[in-house]
Structure 1
Amino acid sequence: MTLVSDADLPRLDYEHCNDPADVHRLIAQARAQAPIAIGPHGPELLSYDLVRAALRDNRFEVPRGMFLAAQGITSGPLWERANNSLLGLDGESHTRLRRLVAKAFAPRNAERLRDTCIAIVTELTDPHLAAGHCDVVADIAVQYPIPVICALLGAPRGDWPLFSRWADDIFKMFSWDLGEHAESVEAAWRQLDDYVDDMVARRSCTLTDDLLSDLIRAEVDGDRLNHAELQMLAGGVLLAGTDTTRNQLAAAVQVLCDYPDQWLLLAEKPDMAPLFVDELLRHTPIAMSTVRITRDDVDLGGLTIAAGTQVALNIAAANRDPQVYDDPERFDVNRVGPPAMMTFGGGLHYCLGVHLARVELTEALRVLTGKLHNPRCDGRPPWKPMTGITGPATLPVTFDAA
């Protein structure tokens, strides 16, 4: 079988783009030639079937260190944190942690935050109604997830600014200029660890109705989370639940502004919000791809991917595969029985926060479409770099108060 490195495959590079429409056009052109393309950092899987198969194949492993190794950082506290996180673990270590925390991330825990989500996004939106305009990114989306994460963990409102600052600093760990920020990243991690230590000490005496208490209670066949694992999971919740929600909400609002009839439909029928969320996640995910390393030689799509190859599993391409979705470029909330989109991943690393993410997006869109009438984007907003987590850098919107 031919090695993927020797095959005549289309080239695909969208790192220079700042508009998702351009990215999807380039993906469609490449996918029309072959289900695998060659990107700047290795092969990219473009078809729904190949991406789905790779997500569920344990021969595709999460690269150790992710952004760190690419910048020459292969040891030290940040390297240890990256590789001992839930995302960085594979095999039995990962399976054990998933088994222990499964109940803590069950749908009921997300449901009990539904009213909190409504209250927070209402509080963020109402001050802008009289003016008839706002920047959805800066004024609403950026500020929305931190209070929800604090409520999830059981942290008081007065500590929202602390969590916001820690999240902003820790996210620099995933930038391409980490060397300039390593000290502030490590300091933020230590401060978050100390905060979680104090919370764990208090919860250990009196457990409450929050995620941290559920993690302390977690037990399977006598096995429990140790202290370092509690710290890691609390930090992981802050990271995984902040930037993703911020960007996905802003991206969803932009898409619905492009489809004003759909915005109006959701305003008139708020019970349809869960359907809107799933179609928005399919149509415009804010993570274009996820990266894996092949542990062994893998035969896929009629080609062999050699062991040790970095492979991009292109989520955006899978979500718009015309072999799976009719007219995939169109936003269509009325699709009949669409296959599950790949935005939350699959297999071993399927997103633990899927239930909370859906609740957050559902209630935010219900509030926004109910309060803002006839929203218009002021021009075509630029997006952040299309590698990693992306989304509108800014989203000025003019509207009529509903």
Structure 2
Amino acid sequence: MSAVEAGLPTLEYSGEDTPAQVYPKLRAAREIAPVAMGPYGPEVLSYELVRAGLRDPRLLIPPGLGLVVQGITSGPLWDRVVSTLLCLEGDEHHRLRSLLSRAFTPRSVERLHSTIVDVLADLVDACTRRGQFDVVTDIARPYPVPIVCALLGAPREDWEQFSLWADDIFKAFSFTPVRDLEAVAMGAWRELDAYTDDMIDRRRHTLTDDLLSDLIRAEDDHDRLDHAELRMLAAGILLAGTDTTRNQVAASIDVLCDHPEQWELLRRNPSLAMNAVHETMRHAPIACSTLRVAGEDMEVGGVPIAAGTMVFLNLIAANHDPAVFEDPDRFDITRSGSAPVMTFGGGVHYCIGANLAKLELAEALKAVTARWEAPRRAGPAPWKPMVSLSGPRTLPLAVG
């Protein structure tokens, strides 16, 4: 059924448009109907329908994610991506996620707190001494990888190598074409495999106080992770905990810079940091939509969706739905009693590292607002397109 036949509003935007460019179109379409026809397929725009879609077992993670866009539908990289926890469905997904959740506990997150604070102090203090810097390059990009290293039990001095691996492997999850993608991504993945294999072998002889050791210990009804599964989950944690955090840290600082009164409010009341995390992720999420494919003929909001159709659950539209969020375009870190933001997903694929990500974001916002009384923009902060992970490309600031 076409958009016209279904009576759907249409959304027109390009793959290069940023969230700020597209959002007014999303808002106008949502005022007409909760589902619109976008340039790539149906887009779900209302909070309740997005929430239901994230929990609907008939809407599946597309096999290979963005690899089809890159022209890759088979081969070593395809096999590697479709075997990740993000792409798995059904019983195997439930089994691995259950075992991972037994290791990814509040305790495993809390033991990283001092590392998070120390890493931030080094980064933010160095920027403060310079007086002018780029938040993206000097804080957001180097920040999360040492945390992931500490989580897995890798030495902190190896974070730069981990960062390079994450950069190259993550290209396989992008919707932006990459030259020689298979060679680049698989080369990095094999190097990470070798490093992880060595860590696993050492942990099997001497367990320590880190997530990799906890994964080896993890057991569910006598079921344990084998070597390949441990390796896959370690790589998945590196990928899931790197680019998302980098981009959202920069995006959250960017939106606070746009609202100096909110910056000062957080500076004077650091206990609002977690509130600020939720509000910045609601107001300026870097994951603007999540892609699903209909596993069978179905309806979404009364709109017929044929099996095999790509469906976009639009998170930025859901997070600004006036039916759920009062005055949704207002940025207010004291906002309370609101529904949860959709940025971490929902249902069986809800981000298992959400608590760690929120802690990293909260500590980052506390660190910068505590040290910088009134940061000044030192140049433009253009955002990346919304069709992949968005966020500022650069965020030049001056302090002091």
TM-score range, shorter chain: over 0.9
1-structure distance, mates of 2:184, 2:302: 47
SS of residue in 1 equivalent to 2:273:
helix
Residue 227 of structure 2 aligns to which amino acid in structure 1?
H
Task: Write the distance in 2 (CA, Å) between the matches of 1:396 and 1:3.
Answer: 45
Supply the distance in 1 between the matched residues of 2:149 and 2:205 (Cα, whole angstroms).
20
Q: Which amino acid aligns with 1:270?
A: P
Code of the residue aligned with 2:122 in structure 1: it is E
- The 2-side partners of 1:269 and 1:172 are apart by 39
Answer yes or no: is 1:136 the counterpart of 2:116.
no
What whole-Å deviation, never above 9, does each CA across 1:16-56 have from its counterpart, x for those lacking one? 55543222212111111111111111000000011001100
1:155-197: CA deviations, max 9, x gaps?
0122112101111111221343245232121111001001110
Per-residue CA deviation, residues 60-116 of structure 1 (Å, 9 max, x unaligned), is: 000001111223211111111111100100111111111111121122211111111
1:97 aligns with 2:84: no
Q: Does residue 352 in structure 1 map to residue 356 in structure 2? A: no
Cross-structure match for 1:166: 165
Q: Which SS does the other structure have where 1:109 is aligned?
A: helix
Choose 51-60 or 4-13, whichever is displaced more. 4-13
Q: 1:325 maps to what in 2?
A: 325
CA contact (8 A) 1:14 1:386 kept: no
Partner of 1:290: 290
When residues 16 and 99 of structure 1 are mapped into structure 2, their CA distance, relative to the original with a 3 A threshold, is closer
| Structure 1 segment 1-400 matched on structure 2, within 5 A | 6-15=5-14, 18-175=17-174, 176-400=176-400
Name the CA distance, whole Å, in 1 between partners of 2:18 and 2:151. 33
Counterpart residue type for residue 251 of structure 1: A
Matches of 1:379 and 1:21, distance apart in 2: 18
Change (3 A) 1:154 1:314: same
Structure 2 runs not aligned, ≥5 long: none
Q: CA deviation at 1:379?
A: 4.6
Give 3-state SS (helix, strand or coil) of 1:130's partner. Answer: helix
Displacement of 1:304 in angstroms is 1.4
Farther-moved stretch of structure 1 (128-137 vs 81-90): 128-137
Summarize deviations over 1:223-277 as a string: whole Å, max 9, x none. Answer: 1111111111000011110000000000000000011111111111111111111
Kindly tell me: are residues 399 and 17 of structure 1, through their superposed partners in 2, closer, same or farther at Cα, counting changes over 3 Å? Answer: farther
Aligned residue identity for 1:35: P
Contact 2:13–2:39 under 8 Å retained in 1: no
Retained in 1: the 8 A contact 2:3–2:10? no
Provide Cα deviations, 1:281-301, integer angstroms capped at 9, x if missing partner. 111110100000001111221
C-alpha distance in 2 between matches for 1:184 and 1:59: 34
- SS of match in other structure, 1:340: coil
Change in CA separation of 1:5 and 1:155 when aligned onto 2, cut-off 3 Å: farther
| Rounded Cα–Cα distance in structure 1 between residues aligned with 2:17 and 2:377 | 16
- Partner secondary structure for residue 219 of structure 1: coil
Q: TM-score, normalised by structure 2?
A: 0.97
Alpha carbons of structure 1 residues 130 and 179: separation in structure 2 relative to 1, 3 Å: closer
- Unpaired segments of 5 or more residues in structure 1? none
Residue type of the partner of 1:32?
E
1:337 partner amino acid: G
SS at structure 1 position matched to 2:148 = helix
- Give 1:397's aligned amino acid: L
Distance (whole Å) between structure 2 residues aligned to residue 25 and residue 377 of structure 1: 25
- Asked if the contact 2:11/2:39 (under 8 Å) is kept, the reply is yes
CA distance in 2, matches of 1:213, 1:179: 37
> 1:280, 1:185 → 2: CA distance?
32
Amino acid at match of 1:142: R
Preserved CA contact (<8 Å) 1:3 1:303 = no
Query: Against the structure 1 CA distance between its residues 157 and 179, is the aligned structure 2 distance closer, same or farther, given a 3 Å change threshold?
Result: same
Contact 2:266 2:272 in 1 (8 A): yes
Distance in 2 separating the partners of 1:61 and 1:345: 13
The C-alpha deviation readout for 1:204-240, integer Å capped at 9, x for no partner, is: 0111110100111110001111111111100001111
Root-mean-square deviation (Å): 1.5
Q: State the alpha-carbon separation in 2 of the partners of residues 154 and 329 from structure 1.
A: 41
Separation in structure 2 between the aligned mates of residue 346 and residue 154 of structure 1, nearest angstrom: 28
Distance 2:248 2:83 in 1: 26
Mapped to 2, the partners of 1:153 and 1:6 lie a distance apart of 52
Q: Percent identity?
A: 55
Q: Is the 8 A contact 1:17 1:23 kept in 2?
A: no
Single out whichever of 220-229 and 296-305 deviates more from structure 2: 296-305
